[in-house]
């Protein structure tokens, strides 16, 4: 065949290639698009739609994804994202950078007061955060943005929000009834078995130094540098961050501290750390709190298990 670059061959060839590209890149994705909502999908309320615009305008998606993939099971994911989760999203905010955590299931992870403290200045709740402060948005816009963030995860978020709202009422009631009732209520969240468990590791200098570092990186913004609950985030949080000094002589144990730090306290701003801190770090920061702020520790008491194999002598 004689394939000469005649003008007609160039034009026809060009059109053919263009048609093939349009077919593959435009038509094919359009024809196979998924418009069936996933089982968790629901429409957004008007305030949530407004909040989404604030999210877009402030470039949140440059640091946050909204898509959990199957490789993320290892990060403690709850559910893998499905195409049907995005049927109402134009533009879709999947994002490609995870400078911060994925937010597709963020709704109800924290109560609203935690979010206010965090958006005003992320270092209120996470002392070494590199997320910029959004105080300039001002209270009304921050509250609208929070409505959107609390809807991420749709029906699953709604369930978590219901839990937050339910427990928030209980937490506020307990706090307002005074320290005795508050500590009783907080400890009633801890299963009986855990309450009796002492810290299994003896207090060591290294353990306390590790505990202090973890406290400074994760806790100081709320519980404050002397453990009195007067950290920088305190003005935004209600019930306010716990003043650890009230725990003395109120039946505290290593097990209670461990359980609360691991799981957080739903309804209060106290987050869970089970995905961020390994077991030893939780015992360490618990013991640091016990020794320096509460003034009593059970870290050296019976019953003790077999010495952990790598635990140094003495």
CB of 270 to ligand HEC, least distance (A): 3
CB of 54 to ligand HEC, least distance (A): 7
CB of 225 to ligand HEC, least distance (A): 13
> CA-CA distance, 205 to 67, in Å (whole number)?
42
Residue pair 58/134 in contact by the 8 Å Cβ criterion: yes
Residue pair 283/258 in contact by the 8 Å Cβ criterion: yes
> CA-CA distance, 95 to 103, in Å (whole number)?
10
CB of 32 to ligand HEC, least distance (A): 32
81 vs 222 by CB, closer to ligand HEC: 222
40 vs 110 by CB, closer to ligand HEC: 110
86 vs 289 by CB, closer to ligand HEC: 289
> CA-CA distance, 103 to 10, in Å (whole number)?
49
Among residues 224, 207, 227, 211, which one has the least CA distance to residue 294? 227
149 vs 157 by CB, closer to ligand HEC: 149
Distances (CA, A) of 265 to 168, 177, 292: 10, 18, 22
> CA-CA distance, 164 to 162, in Å (whole number)?
5
161 vs 219 by CB, closer to ligand HEC: 219
Residues near 48 by beta carbon (within 8 Å), at least 6 away in sequence: 147, 148, 151
Among residues 109, 98, 90, 89, which one has the least CA distance to residue 150? 109
Q: Which strand (E) or helix (H) includes residue 170?
A: helix 154-176
Length of the chain in residues, anyone?
314
Residue pair 251/227 in contact by the 8 Å Cβ criterion: no
CB of 294 to ligand HEC, least distance (A): 9
CB of 290 to ligand HEC, least distance (A): 9
CB of 50 to ligand HEC, least distance (A): 13
What's the burial of 238, exposed, middle or buried (CB within 10 Å: 0-12/13-18/19+)? middle
40 vs 281 by CB, closer to ligand HEC: 281
6 vs 138 by CB, closer to ligand HEC: 138
CB of 99 to ligand HEC, least distance (A): 4
14 vs 251 by CB, closer to ligand HEC: 251
The closest residue (CB) to ligand HEC is 100
CA 258 to chain centre: 18
Using CB under 6 A as the criterion, which residues of the chain lie in contact with ligand HEC when the complex forms?
Answer: 55, 58-60, 62-64, 99-101, 103, 106, 109-110, 114, 122, 125-126, 129-132, 134, 145, 149, 171, 175, 182, 186-187, 218-219, 221-223, 233, 237, 239, 241-242, 247, 252, 256-257, 260-261, 265, 268-271, 273, 285, 289
């Amino acid at each position: 065949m004689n394939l000469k670059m005649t003008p007609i061959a160039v034009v026809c060839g060009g059109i053919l290639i263009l048609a093939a590209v349009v077919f593959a890149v435009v038509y094919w994705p359009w024809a196979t698009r998924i418009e069936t909502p996933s089982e968790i999908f629901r429409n957004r309320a008007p305030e949530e739609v407004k909040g989404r615009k604030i999210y877009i305008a402030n470039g949140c998606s440059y640091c946050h994804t909204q898509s959990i993939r199957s490789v993320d099971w290892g990060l403690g994911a709850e559910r893998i994202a499905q195409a049907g989760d995005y049927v109402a999203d134009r533009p879709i905010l999947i994002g490609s950078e995870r400078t911060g955590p994925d937010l597709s299931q963020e709704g109800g992870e924290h109560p609203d007061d935690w979010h206010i403290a965090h958006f005003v200045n992320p270092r209120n709740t996470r002392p070494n955060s590199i997320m910029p402060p959004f105080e300039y948005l001002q209270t009304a816009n921050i509250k609208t943005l929070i409505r959107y963030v609390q809807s991420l995860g749709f029906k699953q978020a709604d369930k978590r929000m219901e839990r937050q709202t339910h427990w928030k009422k209980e937490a506020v009631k307990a706090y307002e009834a005074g320290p005795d009732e508050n500590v009783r209520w907080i400890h009633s969240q801890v299963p009986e078995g855990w309450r009796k468990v002492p810290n299994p590791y003896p207090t060591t200098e290294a353990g306390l130094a590790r505990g202090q570092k973890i406290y400074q990186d994760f806790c100081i913004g709320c519980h404050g540098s002397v453990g009195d609950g007067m950290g920088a985030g305190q003005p935004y949080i209600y019930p306010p961050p716990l003043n650890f000094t009230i725990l003395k002589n109120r039946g505290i144990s290593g097990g209670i501290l461990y359980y609360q730090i691991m799981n957080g306290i739903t309804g209060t701003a106290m987050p869970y750390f089970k995905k961020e801190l390994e077991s030893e770090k939780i015992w360490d920061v618990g013991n640091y709190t016990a020794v320096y702020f509460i003034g009593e520790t059970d870290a050296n008491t019976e019953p003790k298990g077999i010495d952990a194999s790598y635990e140094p002598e003495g």
